[in-house]
Chain A
Amino acid sequence: MPFESDEYSKRALDFVERLQRLKTYDEICKHILKELAQFGFNYLTSFSIPQAGQSFKDCMWFNNRPQDYIERYSSQNYVLKDPVVTELRKNLNPYSWSDVRRTRELKKSEVNIIDEAREWGSRDGMMLQIVTNSGLVSCFCPCGLGPDLSPRARTALEVIAIYSHHALRRALVQNQRDDVVHIPLTPREREIMQWVAVGKTDDEIGEILLIASTTVTQHVENAKRKLDALRRTYAVVQAIRFGEISL
């Protein structure tokens, strides 16, 4: 333990007091990272488990893991196999990567995922879950090369995690409210989305508008991209939400 036992509560309570005075997302991030560094954590990932219709991107409150590591992690689809992540399904209590190694019999492929993170500067980390009043589960996951994982450090981190999560989420939601932007649809795309919304197929829309159905498909694809939607049903929802079409 790098700190005296009393020091942990003092640190955490001071952290909360200063955090409560901060307003902007950037200030909040800086404050959190500075505190986590004192505990030997260099990186932080903070996210909510996406609900139906939400993309993972919308649920990420903060992530400063190295970009190439994030890309590798997502291209390998590690999130489904990473034992530190799959542990979330059965364990609501805070735990560390090394706890998972110790308490579970891991396959070699699973161990490799944890080991691989070393190359990107993380040997161990904590997983702290926060359940909100709406039943959403969020995770606050700091990690680093040699973090302090003593029992007192863990309880201090719990308090830090709860306040940090809510501060980040509040600041980010406020930012999003301040600048809800979407790329506007062209008149043709709007017209076609209006037909999609009433349940017409691309063939039917093509006949109505006297254009090829492949052209219709292309317009729908463009609209989906602009509306940040993977499927056309969600694209319709987004189009209504942004006021592009109405029913």
Chain B
Amino acid sequence: MLKILKGSQRQEQGGYFEKMFRLRHQVFIQGMGWPLPSTNGKEIDQYDVDDAIYLLDLADDDVIQGSVRLIPSQYCSLVADFFPHLIENGVSPRDPLVFECTRYMFLPLKGRRQDNHIARARLLSGMVEWCLLNHLSFVQCVVDTIAFPGFVEMVPQTIPLGLPHPYGGGRTAPGGGECIAFRWPATREVVASIRKYGGMNVDRELVFADELSRQSLELTH
């Protein structure tokens, strides 16, 4: 099941936030070794603002099996703050109609590969649906170039914003690599592509429309 939370709900939905921040610590700091600030085993940064949107993919027992954070690029943008050089096609990284997808994590289940495809697709198609229902034009993201083909495989409409550039000393340095920025249009076609990838019903109405429209009312651009 997909759950949508807004940053401003951090008090009332404390349980979910607590779990998610701990999981982010496990995945990004312990697992991937990213140099991020952390307190008491929780990873929280300057982009965890009130207007941030969190999508959590919950298993039956409320265990988080994947999550993603969407931030309004207009005033919260990793691309603008740290990776402006990744944009080579002249678009502005800050745009009221563009949200940025960050802290995407997905905990692979032991089991069939297809189940993992479905779980991944559920989270990401939900993310694009949310953007679509909120009349956004794009969702933008920075990823390691190694992971990039996976996003193109899922969404053929993926728009690269520039060429890959090295980070942390480039590919030959330990912990370094190359990264690339891209956008997904917030369209039904993109939702359909992700659903198709996950083997989900492509023609089904937007799955999370009720929950999402309720949330969307609270969003002010």
Q: 11 A-B contacts, Cβ less than 8 Å apart? A: A9-B89, A10-B89, A93-B171, A132-B153, A133-B120, A133-B153, A135-B113, A152-B163, A159-B163, A162-B149, A162-B152
Q: A12 with B160: in contact, given A133-B154, A134-B113 (CB under 8 Å)?
A: yes
Q: Contact at B150–A133, with CB atoms within 8 Å?
A: yes
Instruction: Give CA–CA (A131, B150) in the complex, Å.
Output: 8
Distance between A126 CB and nearest chain B CB, rounded to angstroms: 14
Q: Does B10 sit within 8 A of A, measured CB to CB?
A: no
Contacts of A9 in B (CB 8 A): 88-89, 162-163
Instruction: Report the nearest A residue to B89, measured CB to CB.
Output: A13
Dominant SS at the B interface?
mixed
A224 proximal to B (CB < 8 A): no
Say if the beta carbon of A130 comes within 8 Å of chain B. yes
**Interface status of A47 (Cβ within 8 A of chain B):** no
CB proximity of B103 to chain A, nearest CB, Å: 19
B153 CB to closest chain A CB, in angstroms?
6
List residues of chain B with CB within 8 A of the CB of A93. Answer: 171
- Is B157 in the interface zone, CB < 8 Å from A? yes
B145 at the interface (CB under 8 A from A): yes
Enumerate chain B interface residues (CB-CB to A < 8 A).
Answer: 88-89, 113, 117, 120, 145-146, 148-150, 152-154, 156-157, 159-160, 162-165, 171, 178, 180, 197
Residue of chain B at shortest CB distance from A6:
B88
Which residues of A149-195 are within 8 A (CB) of B? 152, 155-156, 158-159, 162-163, 165-167, 170
A85 interface hit (Cβ, 8 Å): no
Contact of B149 among A131, A152, A155, A156 (CB under 8 A): A131
Least CB distance, A152 to chain B, in whole angstroms: 7
**Which residues of chain B have C-beta atoms less than 8 A from A246's C-beta?**
none
Cβ of A132 and Cβ of B149 under 8 Å apart? yes
Complex CA–CA separation, A93 to B178 (angstroms)? 10
Complex Cα distance, B150 from A51, in Å, reads 19
- Residues of chain A with a CB closer than 8 A to B165's CB: 155
Q: Across the interface, do B89 and A166 meet the contact criterion of CB distance under 8 Å?
A: no
B171 surroundings in chain A (CB, below 8 A):
93
The 6 closest A-B pairs by CB, nearest first: A9-B88, A155-B163, A133-B150, A130-B149, A9-B163, A162-B149
With a cutoff of 8 Å between Cβ atoms, the chain A residues found around residue B150 in the complex are: 131-133
Whether B162 lies near A167 (C-beta < 8 A) is no
Among candidates B113, B164, B197, residue contacting A158 with C-beta atoms closer than 8 Å: B164
Asked if A92 is at the interface (CB within 8 A of a chain B CB), the reply is yes
For A132, give the chain B residue with the smallest CB separation: B153
CB distance from A118 to the nearest CB of B (A): 29
